[in-house]
Structure 1
Amino acid sequence: MDGFVQFMEEKFVPVASKIGAQKHLVAIRDAFMVTMPMMILGALAVMFNNIPIDAFQNFMASIFGGESWKGFGGSVWNGTFAILSVFIAFLVAYNLAKVYGKDGLAAGAVSLGSFFALGGALGMSSNGLFIAIIVALVSTELFVRLIGNKKLIINMPDGVPPAVARSFAALLPAMIVISLFGLIAAIFAAFGVTDIIGSFYALVQEPFMGLANSYPSALLIAFITPFLWFFGLHGANMIDPFLQTINAPAIEANLAAITAGKAAPYIVNKPFIDSFVNLGGTGATFGLVIAIYLVGRKHKAFSVVNNLSAAPGLFNINEPMLFGLPMVLNPIMFIPFILVPMILVSTAFWSTKLGIVPVATIMPPWVTPPILGGFLATQSFAGAILAAVNLLISVLVYIPFVKISVIQEQKREQSI
């Protein structure tokens, strides 16, 4: 194990650190972090409209007369999921331009213009996320280079307000970039492709979502995040840009299917991972907290760290445990830290696949405590039971490794 850790520290960690700090991925990650409250609100609005209780539906219909009461949820959805790609097109460009030290607002506006020039009005919802990200990245790279060209800057005389001067400085670069995307749209239209976003969704994004929805993909997601964390790298932040491009469309597709009375097509999404796998955070470390209370509380150091980690862990914040126990570069805890999420994703995936538990369609806030998150995500007590079973599994797997860790610590202390 020591040789493996040394090899990974020398060869893997530097590369992974560079990937995690890569400016384009950081811009995408930060953009989705801003939109997370809107995604949660949109999912809750659809849930409110489709609460599967006949008494509730009949009660609301009797008060408001028919289906008019659902207008509230529909309006909230229009302001969240329905324009999610628009948010992303602006925010990714804004974040990326700020990294270059350029005007983020101007870059965001240019990205929006480019997105709509390419046909964004047909793909403002999550179906257009891939295209929105691509447009944001490409348009911003072009914009920051053009705005740095002195020949394209219209200089205003002294005394002109700074906001006006900045807008004229960005005028020609903005015109060039947006026109370029308009030209691309015209070329596609000449070949009969009038809906670029819809065509891209059908040819690339939808098949990719289906691939990510498989059991092997779920196992990979469960493995990669704790694996990165073991070396001190924030695994969730590193893979979040990739996951979010499939997460939002999957949730929206599930909600649309349920609203239409059909089966939800996508099992693997963010509420699935948050509610059934990351119980207490990456590695399901709330199970570790319970395990230490059961078999490791007599060791003072373990007990102190555990007491400090318990309350944050209940709300899926596990940095005190990861760095306090620690889990990072801990060869004994490496096995359960990697193994537990893969076991939990297996039980959750097949329980959902076999119809024992409903598909996760609602995205609770990521700080929702374990078990409650399972209930909210599936709108079913079966989801809460599955989360409880997974939590119990995590405790049972962690217990022997806690015992081994305590014994090793006691031996080390006696040898000093």
Structure 2
Amino acid sequence: MEKMQNLLSRIGEWSSRNRYLVAIKNAFEIYMPLIIIGAIAVLWTNVIVNDQTGLGAIWQPIMNLSFLNPAFNAINFCTMGIIALGITFLVGNELSKSYQLSSSFCGFLAVVAWVSMLNTSTSMINLQNETITISGLFSSVLGTDGLFTGMVVAILTIELFRLFYKVDWLKIKLPEQVPEGVSRSFEYLLPAFIVLIITSLLSLLIQKTTGVYINELIFNLIQKPLTYVGGSLPGILCLTLISGLFWTVGLHGDNMIAGVIQPITLTLMLENTNAVEAGKAATNIVNWSFYRTFLATGGTGMIIGLTLAIFLVSKRADNRAIAKVAIIPNLFNIGEINMFGVPVVLNPFLIIPFILSPLVAMTFGYFMTYFGLCPVMYVTMPWTMPPFLMGFLAAGGSLMAGITQLLAIVLSVLIYIPFVKMYEKNQNKMDQEVLNS
């Protein structure tokens, strides 16, 4: 146990100090409110004011509000539709902070470098058989398809800028009388120019040698394989297991793997959202809302199951007192009271159900969805959304999705019950030994 604890502690320390993973995690946390706002817009146009798939199909008067749908479509596009642009800026912004560079300038530099590597024009033949050139950024590149490219380019950009900014003779020095802001902008000028020369030439080299732009290359070589593996049941179970192992030694497992899990599951989620917006079926069973629904009901480890198990079988006043305090936070998926109050951390009796419960719940949710008993989730929900409502709204207002989440909670309670009994038996034994000593 001690060896595993030391190993996980070393891995956790490396993960928490890895500036790239931290920057990616922070970027997604900052952008999350906009994703949720976009999800609300999706609920409006697809679940509420929609006469095909929403409330309008059973209550026609709601369609009188359909004139607002273009505004909500615009909200969806300016939040989730340009997520690659936002994440690129934020990764550059967050990474530059670890180097004590200007975060705002570096964020914009990351975006500019990213755009310099994209295909910004294409030739088409019109109805008159004339070749015309269309310039601009394609919406697919701004959305999920460009997400991993944006993160990679942002990291490359900041590392290059940091390297060149260290070279003193590349900084244009102005007299002391010049305002500090103006003077600093000239110091950035040559390093930034060299960075953009490099990214533009690199893009040209990739395009000439492979026949595709960097976005398509990274999408095929990195993003597609990662989302395929992370979007599979074995992949998400492995990541869930890793998160649980970190938690059991007192490390915040969700934060430890956030830099990996968030880009994958949010990409899969937004693909579902885009499909539904286009009138198609959502197909990615594993996604961000699915992950949160069957990993963290009550808190990571389906820990509301522990609270309910204590209410059902506990005979100890101390454990029941903790459960009474924990139940309200559990309803908003906050489980720290259980983690450190019962505790679960470093508790050999409760580590097993803590790790096992989300694995079983996730497998149950996956096959319920796979066999069509629960709809595929396509709406991003706040992580504090209470049980039943999380599944219900994430699947676009599906009662069966909410019921599936409740059934997963029942499974977690059944898993926790025998271990709570064993834990209390050991507590009673330890109390008796203290009295006899």
The TM tier, using the shorter chain, reads over 0.9
Say which of 321, 324, 329 aligns to 1:307.
324
* 1:56 shift after superposition: 6.6
Say which of 235, 239, 247 aligns to 2:257.
239
2:22 counterpart of 1:23: no
Say which of 316, 332, 340 aligns to 1:323.
340
Q: Which moved more, 1:357-366 or 1:198-207?
A: 198-207
8 Å Cα contact 1:60-1:69 kept in structure 2: no
Name the residue aligned to 1:118. Answer: 117
Pairing 1:112-191 to 2, within 5 Å after superposition: 112-119=111-118, 121-122=137-138, 123-191=141-209
Pairing 1:255-294 to 2, within 5 Å after superposition: 255-294=273-312
Normalised by the length of structure 2, the TM-score is 0.89
- Between the two proteins, the alignment pairs up a number of residues equal to 408
8 Å Cα contact 2:294-2:405 kept in structure 1: yes
User: Quick one: distance in 2 between partners of 1:391 and 1:60?
Assistant: 34
User: Quick one: distance in 2 between partners of 1:178 and 1:108?
Assistant: 14
Name the residue aligned to 2:353. Answer: 336
User: Quick one: distance in 1 between partners of 2:45 and 2:70?
Assistant: 9
User: Quick one: distance in 2 between partners of 1:145 and 1:311?
Assistant: 50
Pairing 1:44-55 to 2, within 5 Å after superposition: 44-51=40-47, 52-53=53-54, 54-55=56-57
Distance 1:239 1:75, change over 3 A: same
Structure 1 unmatched runs, 5+:
none
User: Quick one: distance in 1 between partners of 2:322 and 2:167?
Assistant: 55
* 1:303 shift after superposition: 2.5
Name the residue aligned to 1:36. Answer: 32
Post-superposition Cα deviations, 1:192-236, rounded to whole Å, max 9, x if no partner, equal: 635431343245423432222222113213312111100111111
* 1:9 shift after superposition: 2.1
User: Quick one: distance in 2 between partners of 1:201 and 1:10?
Assistant: 37
User: Quick one: distance in 2 between partners of 1:300 and 1:111?
Assistant: 56
* 1:60 shift after superposition: 5.0
8 Å Cα contact 2:373-2:400 kept in structure 1: yes
Q: Which SS does the other structure have where 1:96 is aligned?
A: helix
User: Quick one: distance in 2 between partners of 1:375 and 1:396?
Assistant: 23
Name the residue aligned to 2:99. Answer: 100
Structure 2 unmatched runs, 5+:
48-52, 120-136
Name the residue aligned to 1:215. Answer: 233
8 Å Cα contact 2:294-2:358 kept in structure 1: no
Normalised by the length of structure 1, the TM-score is 0.93
Q: Which amino acid aligns with 1:9?
A: Q
- Please report the RMSD computed on the Cα atoms of aligned residues, expressed in angstroms: 1.8
Name the residue aligned to 2:418. Answer: 400
8 Å Cα contact 2:231-2:265 kept in structure 1: no
User: Matched residues, percent identical?
Assistant: 33
Q: Which amino acid aligns with 1:210?
A: Y
Say which of 344, 367, 371 aligns to 1:350.
367
